[in-house]
Structure 1
Amino acid sequence: MVRNAVRALWAEPRPSQPPVRVWRDWALLGVLVPWSVLDGTLRGDVAWPPVTVTVGVVLALTLLWRRTHPLAAVAVAFGFLIAVDVATIIAAAEPTKPWSTACALLLPYSLFRWGAGREAAIGLVIILAWLPITFTVEPVGSAADVPAGYGFFLFSAALGASIRYHANTRIRDIDQAKLREREQLARELHDTVAHHVSAIAVQAQAGRTLAASHPDRAMAALEIIEEAASRTLDEMRTMVGVLREGEEPDLVPQPGVTDIARLARRTGDWPRVDVELSGDFDDLAPSVGAAIYRLAQESITNAVRHARHATHVDVRVTGDDDCVRLSLRDDGDAGQSGAGRSSGYGLVGMAERA
C-alpha cells in the first residue's frame, strides 16, 4: 500500500496551465528586494553585507518562477542557502541571511501546489537537507525549535498539497458534469433525429416500391417524408439554440407518456403502429414521462429499422401507483434491415434512461 502511494506520488503530473505571473508577484518582489537591500546594509550584526543582500534578492527573484518551474526555484533558492551556510561554517563567521529569508516558506507550498510528483519529492529532499545545516549555523534556543522549524516547512507543503487536491477534485467534478451533459445531448440527438431519419428511410423505400403501381400511396409517403424532415429540422434548430452560447432557449414542454400515440402516428401507414395507454399518468414526474417517451420512441425506431417484413407494431404503456411498464411487440423477423447498420448507441441510451 505504501509502495503504491509512493508510485502514485512519483507519477503525479503537473497541474495544467499554472498562472505565470500576476500583479501580486511583482508587488511582492517590490517589497522583498528593497527590504533585503536595507536589511543587508543597515543591520550592524551582518558579517558580509553584500552576501546578505544577494541572498535576499536571489530568494525574491526565485518567487517569480515558483509556479511555472517550482523545482528549479527550490533548487536555486535552497541551493544558494546551503552554499552560504556551508561557507559560513567554514569561515566561522556570523550568520549572513537576511530576515527576508522567511519568504522561502512560499516555495514548499508552490512545489506541492504546482509541481509534478517527482519534482515535489526531490524538492522536499533539498529543503529537508538544508534545515539541519541552517540549524548548525544558527543554533536554536531550545529543543522544541527544531521540530517547529521542520513543521513550518512541512505545513507549507501540506497546504499546497491540500489546495491542489481540492482543485483537482473540482476539475474532476466539472469534467464529470460535462461528460454527463454530453451523454444527455447524445441521447437526445440520437432519439429525436434517428427516429425521424429512420422513418424517412422506410417511407422512401416504400414510396420507391409503390411509385409505379400505386402513385397515390407513393405521394402519401412523400408527404410523410416531408413532415418528418420538417420536424427533424425544427428539433435540430432547438438543440442548436440551446447549445449556442449566450442565447436563451425557448421553454418547450418535454414530451410525456400521452404523446406516445402522436409519436406512433408519425411512422406513417407502414408498418402500422398501435398504442394502448392504461392507467393514470397525471401524477407522473415530467422527467420520468420524458424518459418513457424517449424509450418508446427508440423502441419504435428499432422496430421500423431492424424488424424485417414487419407490418404491425404494438406499443403498450400501463401505470399504477408503484411503477410504469412499457412493452413493444412487432410481427417482423429479427435481423438487419435495409436502413443501415446500427451503431448500438440507441441501446446504450435506452439502458441509461432505464
Structure 2
Amino acid sequence: MITNALSSLWAEPRATDAPERVSRDWVLVGVLMVTALLEGVFWDDVVWRPVATIVAVGLAPVLLWRRTHPLACVVVAFGTATTLGLASLLGGAQSAGLNTMIYILVFVYALVRWGSGRETVIGLAVVAVAAVFGSVTDYAGPTELFGGFAVLAAAAAGGAAFRYRAESWRRALDQSRSQERVGLARELHDIVAHHVSAIAVQAQAGQAMAAQRPEAALEALVVIEGEASRTLAEMRAMVRVLRDGAPAQYAPQPGVADLVSLARRAPVPVVDVSLPPDLDDLPPQVDAAVYRLAQEALTNALRHARNASRVEIRVVEGEGRLRLHVTDDGQIDPGRPVNHGFGLLGMTERVQLLGGTLRAGPAAERGWAVDAELPTGAGR
C-alpha cells in the first residue's frame, strides 16, 4: 500500500490551474524587499549585516517564479540559506540572516500547492536536509527545534490542503459538465428522433397520395426538406456544445406552452393538444421536462403505432401536480414484447429526477398510453 501511494505521488502531475504571475505577487515582492532593507539597516544585532541584507533582498524576487518553477525556487532559496549558515559557521559567527527571510516558507507552500509529485518529493527532501543542517549548526533547544519543524510542516500541509480543495472543486465541475453533456446527448436524441419520425410520416403520406394527387407529393417533399433542415441545424448546434472548449449558445428551452406547435390536422395521424389555461408559474425544470416528455411520446407514437388515426396530448394541472397524458388509437400486437429503448429510459430518468411518476404501456382499450405526473411545488 505504501509503495502504491509513493508511486502515485511520484507520478502526480502539476496543478493545472497555476497562474503564472499576478499583480499581488509584485506587491508582495516589493513589500518584502523594503522590509528586508529596513531591517538590515536599522535592526540591531544583525550578523554579517551587508551579506544578510543582500541575501534577503535578492531572494525576494524569486517568489515571482514560485508557481511555474516551484522546485527550482525551493532549491535556490533553501540552498542559499544553507550556504549562508555554513559560511557563518566556518567564519566562527552566529547564524546569519534576517527575520524577514521567514518568507522562504512561501516556497514550501508553493512547492506542495503547484508542483508535480516528483518535484514535491525532491523539494521536500531538500527542505528537510536544510532544516536538519540548520538545527545542527544553530541548536537552541528542543522547543525551538520542534517548533521550527512544525512551522515547515504547517506550510507544506497548507499547500496540500489548498491543492486538494482546488482538485475537489475541479472534479466536481468536471462531473457536473459530464452530467450536463449526458443531458444534452439525450436532448439531441429527442430532437433528431422527433424530426426523423415526422420526415418518415411525410414520406409515407407523399408516397401513398402520389398517384391520385401529385401536388400532395410535392407538398410532402417541401415539408420533408424543412424538417431535414431544422434537424441538421439543431443537431449541429448541439454537437458544437458537446465538443470540448466550444462556446455554448443557449436558446430558450421549450415548455408546456410550446406543445401547441406539435398539433396538426394532416397528415394522419392527427395530433390534438389540450392545455390548461394558466401555466405561468410552473417551475422551469418541470416546464421543460413536460415538453420533452410529450415530444418523445409523440415521436414513439408516430414511429411505432400501427394504423393510428389520432394522437392526443393532454396536460392537466391540480393539487400541486402536473399530469401529462399522451395516447394514440393504433393497434398493439399482443405477442410483440415491449422495447424499453433509450427514449423511454430517458423519459423515466427525467421524471424520477423531478420526483414524479411515469407509466408507459398499452392502453385499456386500444393503442399506447404514456402517463406522467410531476410535482409543481404548489397547490393551486
Q: Same fold (TM over 0.5)?
A: yes
Q: Which residue of 2 aligns with 1:353?
A: 350
Q: Which residue of 1 aligns with 2:32?
A: 32
Q: Which residue of 1 aligns with 2:193?
A: 194
Q: Which residue of 2 aligns with 1:174?
A: 173
For residues 233 and 213 of structure 1, what CA distance do their matches in structure 2 show? 32
Is residue 294 from structure 1 mapped to residue 292 from structure 2 by the alignment? yes
For residues 316 and 246 of structure 1, what CA distance do their matches in structure 2 show? 35
For residues 61 and 189 of structure 1, what CA distance do their matches in structure 2 show? 53
For residues 4 and 350 of structure 1, what CA distance do their matches in structure 2 show? 43
For residues 286 and 64 of structure 1, what CA distance do their matches in structure 2 show? 48
For residues 246 and 287 of structure 1, what CA distance do their matches in structure 2 show? 19
For residues 31 and 54 of structure 1, what CA distance do their matches in structure 2 show? 15
One-letter amino acid matched to 2:350: R
One-letter amino acid matched to 2:7: R
Task: Compare 220-229 and 167-176 and name the one that shifted more.
Answer: 220-229
Task: Compare 93-102 and 191-200 and name the one that shifted more.
Answer: 191-200
Q: 1:72 to 1:346 in 2, by over 3 A?
A: farther
For residues 288 and 46 of structure 1, what CA distance do their matches in structure 2 show? 72
2:142 aligned counterpart, secondary structure: coil
Query: Percent sequence identity over matched residues?
Result: 43
For residues 204 and 327 of structure 1, what CA distance do their matches in structure 2 show? 24
Shift of 1:203: 1.2
Is residue 214 from structure 1 mapped to residue 224 from structure 2 by the alignment? no
Q: 1:15 to 1:89 in 2, by over 3 A?
A: same
Q: 1:63 to 1:234 in 2, by over 3 A?
A: closer
Q: Which residue of 2 aligns with 1:337?
A: none
Q: Which residue of 1 aligns with 2:67?
A: 67
One-letter amino acid matched to 2:295: Q
For residues 246 and 294 of structure 1, what CA distance do their matches in structure 2 show? 20
For residues 45 and 259 of structure 2, what CA distance do their matches in structure 1 show? 88
Is residue 127 from structure 1 mapped to residue 127 from structure 2 by the alignment? yes
- Whether the 8 Å contact between 1:88 and 1:137 is mirrored in structure 2 is no
For residues 108 and 286 of structure 1, what CA distance do their matches in structure 2 show? 49
Is residue 254 from structure 1 mapped to residue 255 from structure 2 by the alignment? yes
Q: Which residue of 1 aligns with 2:308?
A: 312
Q: 1:286 to 1:50 in 2, by over 3 A?
A: closer
Unaligned runs of 5+ in 2: 336-340, 352-380
One-letter amino acid matched to 1:269: P
Residues 4-52 of structure 1, C-alpha deviations (whole Å, 9 max, x = no match): 4433333322222422222222222223334434544555644534431
For residues 7 and 251 of structure 2, what CA distance do their matches in structure 1 show? 48
For residues 223 and 61 of structure 1, what CA distance do their matches in structure 2 show? 71
Shift of 1:219: 5.1
For residues 313 and 38 of structure 2, what CA distance do their matches in structure 1 show? 84
Shift of 1:156: 1.4
One-letter amino acid matched to 2:292: R
One-letter amino acid matched to 2:186: R
- Whether the 8 Å contact between 1:14 and 1:116 is mirrored in structure 2 is yes
For residues 148 and 287 of structure 2, what CA distance do their matches in structure 1 show? 64
One-letter amino acid matched to 2:130: W
- Structure 2 counterparts to residues 103-122 of structure 1, below 5 A: 103-122=103-122
For residues 328 and 118 of structure 1, what CA distance do their matches in structure 2 show? 64
- Whether the 8 Å contact between 1:198 and 1:304 is mirrored in structure 2 is yes
Residues 49-106 of structure 1, C-alpha deviations (whole Å, 9 max, x = no match): 4431332134212211111111111111111112222333333322111222111111
For residues 287 and 165 of structure 1, what CA distance do their matches in structure 2 show? 33
One-letter amino acid matched to 1:311: N
Root-mean-square deviation (Å)? 4.6
- Whether the 8 Å contact between 2:47 and 2:97 is mirrored in structure 1 is no
1:15 aligned counterpart, secondary structure: coil
One-letter amino acid matched to 2:161: S
For residues 143 and 199 of structure 2, what CA distance do their matches in structure 1 show? 82
- Whether the 8 Å contact between 2:254 and 2:291 is mirrored in structure 1 is no
Q: 1:184 to 1:134 in 2, by over 3 A?
A: same
Task: Compare 282-291 and 101-110 and name the one that shifted more.
Answer: 282-291
Unaligned runs of 5+ in 1: 335-343
- Whether the 8 Å contact between 2:294 and 2:313 is mirrored in structure 1 is no
Q: 1:276 to 1:22 in 2, by over 3 A?
A: closer
Shift of 1:132: 2.0
One-letter amino acid matched to 2:202: Q
Residue correspondences, number? 337
- Structure 2 counterparts to residues 2-41 of structure 1, below 5 A: 2-40=2-40
For residues 224 and 178 of structure 1, what CA distance do their matches in structure 2 show? 36
Q: 1:299 to 1:150 in 2, by over 3 A?
A: same
Shift of 1:350: 4.1
For residues 102 and 285 of structure 1, what CA distance do their matches in structure 2 show? 56
Q: 1:183 to 1:143 in 2, by over 3 A?
A: same
For residues 295 and 151 of structure 2, what CA distance do their matches in structure 1 show? 63
Residues 150-194 of structure 1, C-alpha deviations (whole Å, 9 max, x = no match): 111111111122122222222233333333333333333432343
Shift of 1:234: 10
1:312 aligned counterpart, secondary structure: coil
